[in-house]
Chains A and B, each alone.
Chain A
């Protein structure tokens, strides 16, 4: 499984080489295109700034009040059964509903435990394989006025659940104990 760490280190350089050589071979002014695209990134970051301030503030209040800790303690007998850290339950649930609110909780966890802790790594992996199921479904299906979504929701939840299990599994194998 150490191959995954090798992939981590090689991925970005590989993407660079691939995209740049393809761009040059097609006669694209690669540097100008890069600058143009980087501007989009700036705009994107400025756009999410107000949402992030609002939601990190709300999560900050929740954390400081002790509410998150109390919730974790209540739920821990259940999560211990499947060896899942109870601190991650708020994030896991919020992830299904709102992408910005779950980002707020993610950053709060980074602040609390550090991104290189067992918990920090697990949430990083988890966030890359899960999706805001409820939000996405309502946007897409509402856009074409579909009310009977049939087996979409169970299918998506199973996929997300499999992703969470895979994250716990792979983090334990590569980095050892999560807590």
Chain B
């Protein structure tokens, strides 16, 4: 996928430049951007490491497990088909908390394990179960407390106040998550009659 996307972007760019006569800009654009990428990363390392360092404390002190447990009643509402003490619930909780705290690398393994456990409960193995649809939509509505990456990128482009977007970002992500849950719940209700 990314292979075609990448080649596509470069070829379309060079082709357009041939028509618009901006070939020398393209050369400089490529060189400048490559340079810029390294500068960006060097500055963002600081913010990123600050966050991962903080989260390591949260992990070691058991705060993340504690929060996952607190999530149970809410997950029961989202996933009525999954037994509350099933392994799937634990992985879903870990995935949600990791996403909320902006720990993408911890979220994905837990999310894949959750899918594996949900598949065990699924009567039709090639068809997504109700719980899977809800889990995926919830996961992709990207509920997040602080978008650390965005703040890091903003600071590397010399923003006067990189973190000013936390509050508005939280608002927007709550809207998207709520919209996702409501839509799925409505679809589920309408299909209640013809279950599975």
Contact = CB atoms under 8 A, between A and B. Distances in A.
Dominant secondary structure at the A interface: helix
B137 A159 contact: yes
Contacts of A81: none
Nearest to B171: A170
B79 interface: no
Interface string A26-59: 1010100111111111101110110011111111
Contact of A124 (B60, B133, B169): B169
A22 B61 CA distance: 7
A42 B47 CA distance: 10
Contacts of A120: 154, 157, 159
Contact of B166 (A7, A52, A55, A59): A7
Given A49-B37, A158-B179, A159-B183, A124 B154 contact: yes
A116 to B, nearest CB: 5
Contacts of A36: 53, 56
A9 B163 contact: yes
A11 B140 CA distance: 23
Interface string A1-14: 00111111101100
A174 interface: yes
A128 interface: yes
Contacts of B32: 60
A128 B163 CA distance: 12
Nearest to A58: B9
B161 interface: yes
Given A65-B14, A128-B147, A146-B127, A41 B52 contact: yes
Given A33-B59, A64-B29, A128-B165, 5 more contacts: A4-B170, A115-B153, A121-B164, A155-B137, A170-B168
Interface of B: 1-2, 5-6, 9-10, 12-17, 20, 22, 25-26, 28-30, 32-34, 36-38, 40-41, 44-45, 48-63, 105, 108, 111-112, 115-116, 118-119, 125-128, 132-133, 136-137, 139-142, 144-147, 149-150, 153-154, 157-173, 175-180, 183-184, 187
Interface of A: 3-9, 11-12, 15-16, 19-20, 22-23, 25-26, 28, 30, 33-42, 44-46, 48-49, 52-67, 70, 97-98, 100-101, 103, 106-108, 110-111, 114-116, 120-121, 124-131, 133, 135-137, 139-141, 143-152, 154-156, 158-160, 162-163, 165-167, 170-171, 174
17 contacts: A41-B49, A56-B34, A58-B9, A66-B17, A101-B9, A110-B153, A110-B157, A115-B162, A116-B161, A120-B159, A121-B168, A145-B125, A145-B126, A152-B128, A152-B136, A159-B140, A167-B168
